[in-house]
């Protein structure tokens, strides 16, 4: 299988329980909830996405003929840092489960990577992924109802909280929706966590620090 990658770079993970960790960030092109084009946003299943995942023209992006070629490129971004720690690759999109397959998982494992994925949960995550983060979108059918981290962008009218809280996750995070009403979203997320002690607040620290 060949792979279409929008961008790839070395950074610090900016969100969730793994925030602050050194990671190679791999963004696949394409999503099943929105075309990525502004003219389609109003009718998309996800209307608030703030990510460019169209094409393969981003930094480190391109088309990779097979899993070994892509895994080698990921390894080249990791480089040779000081001893200690583990290699971490964070795979996202768009929707990464449109492209992530067993061959790429195996190639990354061979190179010593721990694999984290950030998905909308509408496609089952394959075996071998070490950290599963699901971010549900209102009005979609989530089939990946278990994992390490549930990251709910808030506020999202139409989410069924009773259903979501019946899922099987180890960590429950609420992340304020970015955009023109970011301050109101932050206040709403804080109120949400104060009302529901199971949850904790997650911030996009990479944006606060000026990282990608």
The structure tokens 């606060």 sit at: 208
The C-alpha atoms of residue 202 and residue 98 are separated, in whole angstroms, by 26
Q: What is the mean pLDDT of residues 5-33?
A: 96
Beta carbons of 68 and 107 less than 8 angstroms apart:
yes
Both structure tokens of 31:
């999503």
pLDDT of residue 186: 96
User: Alpha-carbon Rg of the chain, whole angstroms?
Assistant: 17
Beta bridge partners of 175: 153
Residues 32 and 175: their CA atoms lie apart, in Å, by 22
Q: Within 13 Å of residue 21, how many CA atoms lie on the same side as its CB?
A: 18
Q: Which domains does the chain have, with CATH numbers?
A: 3-209 (3.20.20.70)
Structure-token match 């840092």, residue found? 81
Q: What is the pLDDT of residue 115?
A: 98
> pLDDT at position 31, please?
98
Q: Looking at residue 99, what is its pLDDT?
A: 98
pLDDT digits (tens, 9 = 90+) for 99-151: 999 999 999 999 999 999 999 999 999 999 999 999 999 999 999 999 999 99
Instruction: Say what the pLDDT of residue 183 is.
Output: 94
Q: Which residues are known to be catalytic? A: 25, 31, 46, 49-51, 118, 206
CA–CA gap between residue 115 and residue 121 (Å, rounded)? 16
Which two three-digit tokens encode residue 113?
Answer: 């990577």
Phi-psi category of residue 54: left, alpha or beta, with phi > 0 → left and psi -120 to 50 → alpha: beta
pLDDT at 181 > cutoff 80: yes
């Amino acid at each position: 299988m060949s792979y279409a990658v929008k961008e790839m770079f070395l950074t610090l993970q900016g969100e969730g329980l793994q925030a602050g960790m050194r990671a190679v960030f791999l963004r696949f092109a394409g999503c099943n909830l929105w075309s990525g084009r502004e003219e389609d946003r109003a009718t998309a299943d996800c209307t608030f996405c703030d990510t460019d995942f169209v094409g393969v023209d981003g930094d480190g992006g391109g088309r990779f003929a097979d899993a070994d070629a892509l895994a080698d490129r990921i390894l080249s971004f990791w480089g040779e840092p000081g001893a200690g720690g583990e290699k971490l690759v964070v795979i996202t999109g768009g929707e990464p489960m449109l492209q992530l397959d067993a061959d790429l998982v195996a190639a990354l494992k061979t190179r010593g990577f721990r694999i984290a994925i950030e998905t909308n949960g509408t496609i089952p995550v394959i075996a071998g992924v070490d950290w599963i983060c699901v971010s549900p979108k209102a009005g979609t059918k989530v089939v990946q109802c278990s994992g390490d981290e549930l990251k709910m962008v808030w506020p999202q009218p139409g989410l069924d909280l009773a259903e979501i809280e019946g899922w099987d996750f180890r960590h429950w995070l609420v992340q304020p929706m970015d955009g023109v009403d970011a301050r109101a979203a932050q206040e709403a997320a804080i109120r949400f966590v104060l009302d529901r002690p199971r949850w904790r607040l997650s911030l996009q620290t990479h944006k606060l620090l000026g990282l990608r």
